[in-house]
Amino acid sequence: MAQAAGIVNIRRDVDDKFYRYRMPILLTKVEGKGNGIKTVLPNIPDVARALSRPPIYPTKYFGSELGAQTMYDSKADRFIVNGAHQSERLRELLDGFIDKYVLCGSCKNPETDLIVTKDEMIVRDCKACGQRTNVDMRHRLSSYIVKNPPKKSKKEKKGNGDAAANGKNGDADASPGDDGEGSDDELTKRINAEAAELPAVHEKSGLGDDWSADTSPEAVKARTASIEGAFKSSLVIGGDDDDEEAEDTDSPYYHLKTWLLENREDEDITSVDLYKKAQQLGIDKKYKTMQTIGEYLFSEDNPPVVPESKMIKRWTPAIKKLIIAMKDSDKAEKSLLGGLERYVGLDRPDLIPQVPKILMAWYLDDWIQEETVTQWGTHVSKKYVDKETSKKVRLAAKPFLKWLEEADDDEEE
């Protein structure tokens, strides 16, 4: 099967390289020995994100299919299945999970929401065909889901986005999954359509290696080495370097920056151009690319403060595609946020009060995820700007972070 290494169709039975719904291939790593042997699922958060399901669901599903205990180590953010399990076996199980808990029972499209009904049934609500199909309630995962229903997406409350960004409490809507679908639907379609125009990952030769699903120690080591090599001198990973870096005009990031400065105002330049530029510079898998984008995507007169604006949406397909293609999307998002710190902290201090709106805009368009931005917001860092500026930016972000938190509380009631 001609697949880009590392990325597969969500439905692996569909042998179509233009199939629109893709996910990172599930990686596994066996650790320990004897009684303590266990299988770690390093990228299940990314896989689950592609499926729009909490990562704990597929993990629990594996456990119940294999009759094995599962664990979530929240400190290290690791999902674990006890025992040694072959990756191919787990991938097959994942297919089963997808079939039962993700794909629409009617049209087999993966764009569905899971809804727990009042009488404790679970339905898959399909965005593509509008059908609601029942989930098999006999499976053990189903009872787990009833007790731990998916969090309602705060994006459904986006009508209140502006108020929330200003620190006011958005109204909580009590009917999960029922509001705001029309617009969301169209948006999703449009983004997917645009994303489909982007060159597939494997079309550029040689890129496959970075994505390799090969988890052999040698392969992992090689990948780590290449990443470390690329970043050794950069601020992204070497957090303690001073930020008085001289600008290296040979660096691909410098080229990206120049390109952004020259093209960001040009209405004819699209998301596809941005993505292709990053590819052409060979940095489409590099975290620092996100930093550069965060810092230079928006021009002087056009701060990205309006959620759902054309200016934001224009870039969304490239941003999302870049993030999902990086090894650790959490890191990619943090790098993007680092770019934001530099943008408002160094270039546009007058925009600092607007940080909640910027974050809201980015969040609503899926540039950043809740966990990432929450973590970012509570950890001052010298990685991208000096400590004072870092603090200032995070302080300014408070209303947005508070809103995220309150939206969570609403769900629990």
Residue 355 in tokens: 């940080």
Which DSSP state fits 10? S
Which DSSP state fits 41? -
C-alpha to C-alpha distance for 208 and 139, rounded to whole angstroms: 37
Which of 128, 163 has the CB closer to Zn ion? Answer: 128
Shortest distance (Å) from residue 133 CB to Zn ion: 8
Which of 63, 110 has the CB closer to Zn ion? Answer: 110
Q: 3-class DSSP state for residue 224? A: helix
Which residues sit opposite 24 in a β-bridge? 7
Which of 108, 348 has the CB closer to Zn ion? Answer: 108
C-alpha to C-alpha distance for 310 and 314, rounded to whole angstroms: 6
Site residues, Zn ion (CB under 5 A): 104, 106-107, 109, 126, 128-129, 131
Which of 127, 276 has the CB closer to Zn ion? Answer: 127
C-alpha to C-alpha distance for 304 and 355, rounded to whole angstroms: 9
Shortest distance (Å) from residue 360 CB to Zn ion: 31
Shortest distance (Å) from residue 104 CB to Zn ion: 3
Shortest distance (Å) from residue 128 CB to Zn ion: 5
Q: 3-class DSSP state for residue 209? A: helix
Which of 129, 352 has the CB closer to Zn ion? Answer: 129
Q: Of the candidates 58, 147, 45, which has an alpha carbon nearest to the alpha carbon of residue 99?
A: 58
First-to-last alpha carbon distance for the chain, in angstroms, is 47
Shortest distance (Å) from residue 46 CB to Zn ion: 24
Which of 126, 340 has the CB closer to Zn ion? Answer: 126
Shortest distance (Å) from residue 10 CB to Zn ion: 14
Q: Of the candidates 329, 351, 332, which has an alpha carbon nearest to the alpha carbon of residue 342?
A: 351
